[in-house]
A and B are shown apart, each in its own frame.
Chain A
Amino acid sequence: MIRLSPAASAGLRDIAPILLGLIPFGLITGVSGAAAGITAVDMVFMSAVVYAGASQLAAVSLMGASAAPWVVLLTVGLINLRFLMYSASLAPWLQRYGPVARGLIAYLLVDHTYALSVIRYAKEDDSFDRRDYFLSMGVVVWLQWSLMTALGAVLGTQLPPALHLDFAVPLSFLALLVPLVTTRPALVAAVTGAALAILLAPLPYSLGMVIATLLGVAAGTVTEAVVSRRPRAEASSPTEPQGRAPEPEGRAPVSEGRAP
Chain B
Amino acid sequence: MTRPEVWLVILLSGAITFSHRASFIMLGSRLKMPPLLRRSLAYIPPAVLAAIVAPALLVDSGVSVGPLDVRLIAMIAAGIVAWRVRSLLVTFVTGMALLWVLVAVFG
Contacts and interface: CB of A to CB of B under 8 A. Distances in A.
Given A50-B13, A87-B25, A255-B86, A164 B48 contact: no
A192 to B, nearest CB: 7
Contact of B48 (A99, A169, A185, A213): A213
Given A45-B10, A79-B45, A245 B39 contact: yes
Contacts of B92: 24, 28, 168, 171-172, 175
Interface string B48-73: 11111111111001000000000100
Given A88-B33, A105-B25, A190-B49, A163 B58 contact: no
Contact of A186 (B43, B54, B78): B43
Interface residues of A, number: 104
A144 to B, nearest CB: 15
Contact of B21 (A107, A189, A197, A253): A107
B28 A91 contact: yes
B33 to A, nearest CB: 6
Interface string B16-51: 111011111110110101011111111111111111
Interface of B: 1, 3, 5-14, 16-18, 20-26, 28-29, 31, 33, 35-58, 61, 71, 74-75, 78-79, 82-83, 86-89, 91-92, 95-96, 99-100, 103
Given A216-B51, A217-B47, 8 more contacts: A77-B16, A82-B44, A86-B21, A106-B18, A170-B57, A180-B46, A180-B49, A244-B38
